[in-house]
C-alpha cells in the first residue's frame, strides 16, 4: 500500500498501525473536463477549448518545465467574458507536476490557456500534460 501523508511517502505503515488520523494523498478518481498528454511549447500562448463545464471551482493538474529564472506560465480559464487565472513558477528546467486551483465559474464552454509570463521570450516553457477538473 502506498500512502502519502503531508508530502512524505509511507509504505505499509498504515496497516502496521504506525500512522494515525486522516490519510492525505490517495486522491479519489477525477473526471477531466479537458486533458492533453501531448508535449507542447507555450510559445506566445496555447489554448485548449473545453465543453460542458459543470460550474464550480476548477483545478488543473499540470506537468510542466520552465527553463530560466524569470519565466513563469499563467494558467487562465476563460469562459465568455469571465476569466480566472493563477501562475506556475519556474522549475530550473526540471519536469514537475503541480495541482493549481482556479476560482468559481458558472456552467458553460470556454478555453484553458497557458500563457508566458515574467519575460518577453517565447521559449523555455513546456507543458507535458494537464487535466482540468471540477475541484
The enclosing domain of 122 has a CATH number of 2.60.120.260
Q: Tell me, yes or no, whether 65 and 130 share the same domain.
A: yes
Radius of gyration over every alpha carbon of the chain, rounded to an integer in angstroms: 17
Q: Tell me, yes or no, whether 98 and 43 share the same domain.
A: yes
**pLDDT recorded at residue 28:** 66
Q: Tell me, yes or no, whether 61 and 75 share the same domain.
A: yes
Q: Tell me, yes or no, whether 57 and 90 share the same domain.
A: yes
Q: Tell me, yes or no, whether 64 and 104 share the same domain.
A: yes
Q: Are 13 and 3 in contact (CB under 8 A)?
A: yes
pTM reported for the whole predicted model: 0.77
CA angle 46, 50, 54 (to 5 degrees): 140
Q: pLDDT per residue over 16-45, tens digit each?
A: 433 443 444 445 688 999 999 999 999 999
In the predicted structure, residue 79 carries a pLDDT above the cut 70:
yes
- Which residues span the domain enclosing 58? 31-134
**Count: domains in the chain:** 2
Cα 89 from Cα 1, distance rounded (Å): 32
Query: Strand (E) positions, 56-95?
Result: 56-66, 72-79, 82-88
Distances (CA, A) of 59 to 3, 37, 55, 112: 22, 17, 12, 11
Q: Tell me, yes or no, whether 66 and 109 share the same domain.
A: yes
Q: Tell me, yes or no, whether 108 and 68 share the same domain.
A: yes
Cα 4 from Cα 69, distance rounded (Å): 30
Q: Tell me, yes or no, whether 53 and 113 share the same domain.
A: yes
In the predicted structure, residue 108 carries a pLDDT above the cut 60:
yes
Q: Tell me, yes or no, whether 71 and 98 share the same domain.
A: yes
In the predicted structure, residue 11 carries a pLDDT above the cut 70:
no
Q: Tell me, yes or no, whether 79 and 107 share the same domain.
A: yes
Q: Tell me the pLDDT band of 2, cut-offs 50, 70 and 90.
A: very low
Q: Tell me, yes or no, whether 61 and 14 share the same domain.
A: no
Q: Tell me, yes or no, whether 129 and 65 share the same domain.
A: yes
Query: Strand (E) positions, the chain?
Result: 2-5, 8-11, 34-36, 40-41, 46-53, 56-66, 72-79, 82-88, 96-105, 108-117, 125-134
Q: pLDDT per residue over 42-61, tens digit each?
A: 999 999 999 999 999 999 99
**pLDDT recorded at residue 41:** 95
Amino acid at each position: 500500500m502506498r500512502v502519502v501523508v503531508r508530502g512524505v511517502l509511507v509504505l505499509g505503515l498504515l496497516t502496521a498501525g504506525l500512522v494515525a488520523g486522516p490519510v492525505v494523498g490517495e486522491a479519489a478518481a477525477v473526471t477531466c473536463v479537458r486533458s492533453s498528454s501531448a508535449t507542447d511549447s507555450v510559445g506566445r500562448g496555447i489554448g485548449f477549448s473545453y465543453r460542458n463545464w459543470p460550474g464550480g471551482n476548477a483545478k488543473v493538474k499540470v506537468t510542466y518545465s520552465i527553463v530560466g529564472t524569470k519565466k513563469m506560465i499563467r494558467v487562465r480559464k476563460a469562459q465568455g467574458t469571465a476569466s480566472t487565472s493563477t501562475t506556475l513558477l519556474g522549475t530550473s528546467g526540471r519536469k514537475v507536476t503541480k495541482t493549481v486551483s482556479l476560482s468559481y465559474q458558472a456552467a458553460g464552454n470556454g478555453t484553458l490557456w497557458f500563457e508566458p509570463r515574467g519575460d518577453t521570450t517565447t521559449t523555455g516553457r513546456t507543458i507535458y500534460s494537464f487535466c482540468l477538473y471540477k475541484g
